[in-house]
Structure 1
Amino acid sequence: MVGGKRTRNFDDDDGYRDFRPRMPKRQRVPPVVQLCKEMMPDIRTLGETVKAFEEDIKFLSEAIANEFGNEEYFRNALLSTLYAVVVEQPHKQPAIALLTMVVNSMNPVAGKSVLNHFFGKLQEWCDISIDESFQVTSSETGPWNKVKLLLRFLSLLSPMVEEDELLLLYKKLFELSVGLNNLNPEKRNPLSEAIYSNTLLNIPYLFFFSKENERLRGKVADLVSEVESTYLVKNTDLSLIREYNKNPPYESVQWVKAVLPNVKRVLANDMQQISELFPDYTTMMKDQPGDQGFNDPLNLPTIEQLEPFSGLDRGLGSIDGMWKVPRYSFRVYLANEVGEFETVVPFTTYAGMLFEDLIIDIIESMEFNRKEVAKQVVTLDLFFKPGIFAEPGQSIAQLIALHEENPIITTYKIEDLAIEKILSMIFKLPNVSHPFAYFYTLLVEICQNSPKAIAPVFGRAFRYFFNNLDELDLELKLRYLDWFSIQMSNFSFSWKWNEWEDESIKFSKTFYSPKVTFMRNLIRKELRLTSSKSDVEDSLTEEFKPYTDSSFVPKSDLINYYQSFFKDFEIDIDLLKDNDLFFIQPCFPFNETVQNVINYFHKQPLERSSSELMTIFEELQNNHGNIIHDINRLVVTILMQSLAFSGNRSLSHANKYIGDSRNDLLDIMGKMEVDQELKERWIIEAVIRYWNSNSQNGYLILDTCKNFELISAKSILNFSFLEDNDRNWGLVDATSVESTFRTLTELSLRRDASVETFLYVFERLVEIASETVEKLGVASDVAVVVPKDSTAIRELELSWKYESCLGFIKSILRKYADEYTPGLEQLNSILDGKVAHERTRQTIQNWLRELKEL
């Protein structure tokens, strides 16, 4: 007893319960596992901290040399980590190679094991290149891109590898590229160009640690000379994949044509360019204990085995797939207009080509880790010689001042380089390697990491594309629109709109001006991306406020549409509201009848009968038929707009209402003695007019109607390209253009899809182009040119319309080449029958000839 109270004896079993949680005994992590947890992250980040690099090499090499032969767990973890860094972050390859060779100097068995592992991987990817069952992941760059990266790493190990064996790898790959290239003397071989370019690009890496090796220099010179004399670079220029339809702002260069001159220049003059590009790690190098060799010769697939895969169109990986068509350089940051200097290392130098290759590799191979990609691409300069790039974050104004003070100072910006290469992936034709969202969010991530440095870089890109909009490919205009609007929505819609005011003041009343069209579409898209309309409105200057009217057709057209249903009856235009059912307004004597239709659709499907709807419409005709022009047209319109009204909360609601009502709609419309094409036109018009202030919703609901077989794909396309007093919304409105591409893409994915719809779109666009050039009155052998005289508005409008139409034809031929190629004879027949203007026919015929190359 203590203080009159009994103390509890916790040893007594008297019902006491210990409520402390029963934790499992902490298991002791084996020392080798702990070592790997500490060491592998250091290997993955090797070189990111320049000041600690030498110390990291010393610490890691000693640990690896001491531990390598002790535990298989350590060996496997080390080799898999080294491999991952080599193929996912190739800019770190020299650091990994240095680490490997320092380890080799201490423990040749460990060095040999690393060498064998990478040679084995090289052989493995060569074998995979002819494996039809190979499964591609989202971050897979392709077997031949892996061969490129593994050969580069082995080349870096030249001080420890028997040089004749190393050069034999090059010789075999070059022989393979030549053999593939010679399969058809007239036609380019995509795989041949990929192997040729990739292998040449690696040659300077042989000298990263071996610049003083005169014997190696001589052998490489002979190898390059042999390749130059045996490999014929073919002239293949595809206008279908050019980013600009006319007057490109720069001269693009093909990879396959630029790579050999770049490599020859970098090897010339005692390899001065290599010394200026690669960092000097010689103080950390250790003498290598003899030359290591490969255990087995490399077995490359034969030309016969590779021929079926040589088109690189079998989905073997994202970067390999880029070689399917000729690869061109891509530019955004051209020489500064004030200072006339470059901010991106030119592609016509080895360094420029290598930087592009590295950044694309990082972007593509690490798609699974966007945050890491965002970090690595803007710190690439850390892994090259200091002084190549200006200080990060320097503005153009600062560079101009520095350049004027010292003309030989570097003006290259790592930010410009990284952003330009990411944009090159967004603007890649004919296809993009990943969903656009990956690239857009990657750019947002980079900007959020360093907004002060990156935002001005984005601004210059925005201006560049806007200034070149008249010439830009149609599909790329849509990508630019998407990127710009997403960036703006992520950064509070802040943009200095006053920069574009002059263009708006001059052409705001026009219909086809590319720049005004872009501004209208951009503001409408931004309005759709936010629930707060005021955020967008507050960012605009007064000149652009009228563009916040998101109407698909002007209000006057909408009034005429509703008035067209009636005779001897005037509608009250003041009751016309956005995204509302006009027929339930008090001005209509039958508004209660329409309400009954809405009530019908609100019933559960099992509680309905289409006979009830028929009765409602019979009463409508009996009571008000005297003021109705066409009862069938009105019935179809009321049905579709009532469904749109009932489901206007969201697309899923709309889809549900249409799906539940499908049989009723088919039953009622099936009883109408009206041509099916006309009924479908009424359906489409009813939906688009209801959603006049948000046409994207309208077109998406039309997709639902198509999926439920209420309308056909052709009827949507026909509606989009209707002519109305020289106005064709299908050529300028982004939601309509997107609908056309979406409709054709869905058709292209269907195995049973008919080519008829694709031919129809081609024919319709050809007709519009032909009619437009006829109105312009241009001679048959003269090209249509947009006049510079801004006062000739009608001529300007027709010229812009013509160019929009031709740009559309170019884009659909490229995008749906697989669908159009089998119908080439029909396409040429359409062209001959519809187009009298010779220059127009020649342009389109040239595109048709190029289809087989895609």
Structure 2
Amino acid sequence: MSGVKRRRNFDDDDGYRDFRPRMPKRQRVPPVVQLCKEMMPDIRTLGETVKAFEEDIKFLSEAIVNEFGNEEYFRDALLKTFYAVVVEQPHKQPAIALLVMVVNASNPVAGKSILNHFFSKLQQWCDNSIDDGFQVTSNETGPWNKVKLLLRFLSLLSPMILEDELLSLYKKLFELSVGLNNSEPDKRNPLSEAIYSNTLLNVPYLFFFRRENESLRQKVSKLISEVEVQYTMKKTDLSLVQEYNKNFPYEPIQWIQAVLPNVKRVLANDLQQLAELFPDYSHLLKEQAGDQGFNDPLTLPSVDQLKPFSGLDRGLGSVDGMWRVPRYSFRVYLANEIGEFETVVPFTTYAGMLFKDIVIDIVESLEFNRKEVAKQVITLDLFFKPGIFTEPGQSIAQLVALHEENPIITTYKIEDLAIEKILSMIFKLPNVSHPSAYFYTLLVEICQNSPKAIAPVFGRAFRFFYHNLDALDFELKLRYLDWFSIQMSNFNFSWKWNEWEGDALKFGETFFNPKVTFMKNLIKKELRLTSNKSDVEDSLTDVFRPFTDSSFVPSQDLYEYYQSFFKGYEISEDQIKDNSLFFTESSLPFSDLVQQIVNYFHKQPLDRNISELVSILEKMKVDNETIVVDFNRLAVTTLVQVLVFSGNRSISHANKYIGDARTELLEILGKIEASQEQKERWIVEAIIRYWNCNSQNGYLIADTCKNFDLISSKSILDFSFLDDKGRNWGLVDATSIESTFRVLSELSSRRDTSVETFIFVFERLVEIASNVVEELGLSVDSELSASMADPDEMQDESADLQKLDCSWKYEGCMGFVKSVLRKYADEYASALEKLDSIINERVTHQQTKRTLQGWCRELSEL
């Protein structure tokens, strides 16, 4: 055996172990599982490839006919896939319905089984609508929205279903909507409006595959006529949820008002509009017996059962929740902005309303798959009649040229339609259905998929909102700021700033001008979103470079703040530096003692003794009482700024220092001879002044102090709304405004909290507005709009600008009131008597009083 190695038999039990990697045995996938893996993705993407559509229908229908009754696994997978497409991608419903009916023609048992499945789902969602324990997922659109989508699908199956059975579903739903509407004659019923509008919107789908059915037309016509007579329209205008406070750029239309006229028009003239909207699949549809029926009649909840749920304010789903307040059309791309033609199918047409409804359903129900949403909303046109939209990616300049050459050519852009509808969800009042980040990142995804086509669409939207900033709702200005800044940060901060130079030059010295305020907040926000400041600065023109100063208050104000601690002792502006502790400047007489305080807080909590800290403070007081105005204020400010300075690397770092020092701070604060309100004011001011270069950090750290019970919510709000030489940072600075909403939202989330702080904010804003009216010298009966200077016709520029700035301050203040009343309607509705008292006691200007009282009356509708 010399020279030959004996190969060990590792399979023998001879003491050796085989350490060679073993490949797992390849498990054989059952044929039915493999079939489902191949078929179900094809069903989910049915219709996306137009050229392969006919072949796909043929292949899939044959496979379903052959396999449906063989394996339960296949049946379940198929029904789940059908259902998911129907409720998550409603634009594909006609394709799925065609597939089902082709299957039904060859295998009626399979067709009946599929029909039963969808009917059972319809019944299930009707039952869920009165279930207190219904669990809502993040992408849940709501029971009644599901009913809408399932009814639409069943309507598409009309060739295979008994006519009267299908129409009975419509009749029952219309009767329910009428009953709910009549249950309180003088009050709007949100659920009634939802069922009425959703059901009407589905009616044309009855004719998708049956346009020549005269009997069906007559029955539908009769049904619609009955509903029109029975349903009492209640037009309820709620100014609290209007996107604009004045000068609407377009006339908003309520869904409830538009749906019936739209449906009647699309069914008129021998269904001409319908033929121009829906694709013709008749050559693919096999003859249907039309004898399929439902096993049981649909059982709807009663009006009494639905009453507790009819406000649609119980979190049953995102789309259902949109009916909580009156739903209005929302526009961004107006004809007069580009020429005498529209780029979005008008809301006053059935097609325009339907497209918007479908985009909402895709965006809301597919929230878990942002990439798929981005793809589907931009390819929506593939599922409707060719020729409705222009070629994707055509520029406005190209459309203008084409329209001049041929005025009847279509100018509708699928990009405009999709983006406008997503923006309507971002700008929806009173609430956004998902965290705003979802919509922002969705728009980024859409743009990244096709930047050349989408970037100009965004640009037009940016310009539209900027042009209407004066009138835009106060809260929506923040959402616009967020969206704009996120888009810019994702696209190299590129923007044509020169377009805004005129406003910056004309109004740059004012404090409350909404456009200048927006520019300043935008640039500051962009600077916070990047670690490379030059990225932002390089994108700006010279006019905007002064706005790159990220200071909360100007350097002179900061100097005056620190100088106010001293008497007979002058400090210099050079001693005040960003991210450094002013009181440790070596030239200050007590800097060494402040450094000892810094060293004290750098020790581990267990190694500290508060007596050491007290001794340092006592020495500071004794040694410097001749130059210090108020040592109590200095002591509080020094302690707070030392902690903020020590934790200035990150918010979590600051939280740790403040949390560790909480007990010591409370003990020392307890010995300070000053009111609690005064001490809390000093704390907030110390934090915000330290973080003057980044007030967002300052307000977040103030939140930390609030969470550790060192200060109250009210103290932060009180500081934000201080009037200083006619300026009020809490009305214009985005970080301060965000802080106000954040503080109130946290209080609102605690259901057992007092409404005192909410009343304080209302009272403070009303007081500011009333003071502005006095400053403008208005009589109690005068209209504010009539007294405002026209920016384009200023004579004495300085005086007129000052008057304009006061008017902008008033409008900003009233806009803030409107936003907090809407956003925290439950809290304010419980304090109406107190609000009324504040209005009557503090407001003499009649226009202001009428506006505030009108908003308070509307609170019960939210």
Residue identity in the other structure for 1:806: M
Match of 1:8 in 2: 6
Indicate yes or no: 2:197 matched with 1:197: yes
Alignment of 1:87-236 (within 5 A): 87-236=87-236
Measure how far apart 1:289 and its partner are: 2.8
For the Cα contact (< 8 Å) 1:609–1:664, is it kept in 2? Answer: no
Alpha-carbon distance in structure 1 between the residues aligned to 2:388 and 2:789: 44
Alignment pair present for 1:787 and 2:789: yes
Partner residue, 2:60: 60
Task: State the match for 1:823 in structure 2.
Answer: 831
Deviations 1:117-171 (A, max 9, x none): 0001000000111111100000000000000000000000000000100000000
**Residue 593 in structure 1 maps to residue 593 in structure 2:** yes
| Partner secondary structure for residue 725 of structure 2 | coil
Distance 1:394 1:781 in 2: 53
Instruction: Indicate conservation of the 8 Å contact 2:552/2:694, yes or no.
Output: yes
1:619 Cα deviation after fit = 0.6
Deviation, 1:728, is: 0.4
CA separation in 2, counterparts of 1:485 and 1:137? Answer: 30
Which residue matches 2:251? 251
The answer on whether the counterparts of 2:646 and 2:654 sit within 8 Å (CA) in structure 1 is: yes
Q: Is the aligned partner of 1:609 residue 2:617?
A: no
Amino acid at match of 1:516: V
Change in Cα spacing, 1:272 to 1:771, as seen in structure 2 (3 Å) is same
State how far apart, in whole Å, the 2-side matches of 1:232 and 1:481 are. Answer: 40
1:36 is the counterpart of 2:23: no
- Partners of 2:783 and 2:467 in 1: CA distance: 23
Residue 263 of structure 2: aligned partner: 263
Give 1:24 deviation, angstroms.
2.5
Within-5 A mapping of 1:500-579: 500-579=500-579
Q: Using the TM superposition, give the Cα deviation of residue 18 of structure 1 relative to its aligned residue in structure 2, in angstroms.
A: 4.9
Deviations 1:810-852 (A, max 9, x none): 0000000000001101101100000110011001110011000
CA shift, 1:580, in A, is 1.3
Distance (whole Å) between structure 2 residues aligned to residue 572 and residue 339 of structure 1: 58
Q: Render the CA deviation track for 1:646-690: whole Å, top value 9, x for unaligned.
A: 000000010110010011111111111211111111111111100
- Contact 1:601–1:643 (8 Å) recurs in 2: yes
CA distance in 2 between counterparts of 1:108 and 1:646 reads 76
Deviation, 1:623, is: 1.2
Alpha-carbon deviation of 1:579?
Answer: 2.1
Retained in 2: the 8 A contact 1:783–1:840?
Answer: no
Q: Which residue of 2 aligns with 1:802?
A: 810
Q: Which letter does structure 2 place at the counterpart of 1:191?
A: L
- Deviation string 1:708-745 (CA, Å, 9 cap, x unpaired) is 11111111111111111110001000011111111111
Residue 637 of structure 1: aligned partner = 637
Offset, 1:780: 2.1
Deviation at 1:783, TM superposition (A): 2.0
CA distance in 1, matches of 2:561, 2:777: 33
- In the TM superposition, 1:637-716 aligns within 5 A as 637-716=637-716
**Pair 1:811 & 2:809 matched:** no
- Contact 1:598/1:646 (<8 A) preserved: yes
Measure how far apart 1:23 and its partner are: 2.2
Residue type of the partner of 1:853?
E
Measured in 1, the distance between the counterparts of 2:197 and 2:103 equals 32
The answer to whether the 8 Å contact 1:571/1:587 transfers is no
CA contact (8 A) 2:160 2:291 kept: yes
Aligned-partner SS, 1:556: helix
In the TM superposition, what is the alpha-carbon distance from 1:19 to its structure 2 partner? Answer: 4.4
The residue number in structure 2 matching 1:849 is: 857
Instruction: Check conservation: 1:427, 1:479, Cα contact below 8 A.
Output: yes
Contact persistence 1:252–1:329 (CA under 8 A) = yes
**Match runs of 1:750-761 below 5 Å:** 750-761=750-761
1:562 aligned partner, one-letter code: Y
What runs of 5+ residues in structure 1 fail to find an aligned partner? Answer: none
The answer as to whether partners of 2:552 and 2:693 remain within 8 angstroms in 1 is yes
Q: How far is 1:624 from its partner?
A: 1.4
Matched, 1:416 2:424: no
Asked if structure 1 preserves the Cα contact closer than 8 Å seen for 2:586 and 2:592, the reply is no
Structure 2: distance between partners of 1:747 and 1:844:
23
Cα 1:799/1:27, change in 2 over 3 Å: same
Counterpart AA for 1:727:
R
CA distance, structure 1, for counterparts of residue 625 and residue 311 of structure 2: 64
Provide the C-alpha distance between the structure 2 equivalents of 1:146 and 1:833, rounded to a whole number of angstroms.
49
CA shift for structure 1 position 16: 7.1
Q: Kindly state the Cα deviation for residue 222 of structure 1 after the two structures are TM-superposed.
A: 0.2
The residue type equivalent to 1:8 in the other structure is: R
Q: Which residue of 2 aligns with 1:387?
A: 387
Letter of the 1:153 counterpart = F
Is the 8 Å Cα contact of residues 447 and 455 (structure 1) preserved in structure 2? yes
Aligned residues: 852
Q: Compute the displacement of 1:21 (Å).
A: 1.6
- Check 1:206–1:5 CA distance in 2 against 1; reply closer, same or farther (3 A cut): same
Change (3 A) 1:677 1:73: same
Q: Which secondary structure does the structure 2 equivalent of 1:846 belong to?
A: helix
Pairwise mapping of residues 730-749 of structure 1 onto structure 2 (< 5 A)? Answer: 730-749=730-749
User: 1:5 deviation in Å?
Assistant: 2.2
SS in 1 for 2:183: coil
Letter of the 2:3 counterpart: K
Deviation at 1:338, TM superposition (A): 4.1
Q: Is the 8 A contact 1:181 1:231 kept in 2?
A: yes
Is the contact made by 2:233 and 2:257 (CA closer than 8 Å) also made in structure 1?
A: yes
Question: Does the 8 A contact of 2:169 with 2:298 survive in 1?
Answer: yes
Alignment correspondent of 1:325: 325
Q: Does the 8 A contact of 2:510 with 2:802 survive in 1?
A: no
Unaligned runs of 5+ in 2: none
Q: CA deviation at 1:572?
A: 2.2
Q: Which secondary structure state, in structure 1, belongs to the residue aligned with residue 337 of structure 2?
A: coil
Distance in 1, Cα, partners of 2:509 & 2:339: 36
Please tell me the residue identity of whatever aligns with 1:441.
T
| SS of alignment partner, residue 158 of structure 2 | coil
Q: In the TM superposition, what are the counterparts of 1:724-735 in structure 2 within 5 Å?
A: 724-735=724-735
Give the residue type in structure 2 aligned to 1:346: P
Residue type of the alignment partner of 1:796: L
Do 2:338 and 2:396's aligned partners in 1 also have CA atoms closer than 8 Å? no
Matching residue's letter, 2:861: E
Counterparts of 1:625 and 1:7, CA distance in 2: 95
Equivalent AA in structure 1 for residue 691 of structure 2: W
C-alpha distance in 2 between matches for 1:63 and 1:800: 67
* Contact kept? 1:770, 1:835, Cα under 8 Å: yes
Output the amino acid matched with 1:430: P
Q: Which amino acid aligns with 1:497?
A: W
Query: For 1:237 and 1:43, how far apart are their aligned partners in 2?
Result: 44
> Does the C-alpha gap of structure 1 residues 598 and 278 become closer, same or farther in structure 2, counting only changes over 3 Å?
same
Aligned to 2:73: 73
Aligned to 2:777: 777
% same residue: 75
SS in 2 for 1:626: coil
C-alpha separation in 1, matches of 2:565 and 2:403: 69
**C-alpha displacement at 1:752, in angstroms?**
2.5
Equivalent position SS for 2:817: helix
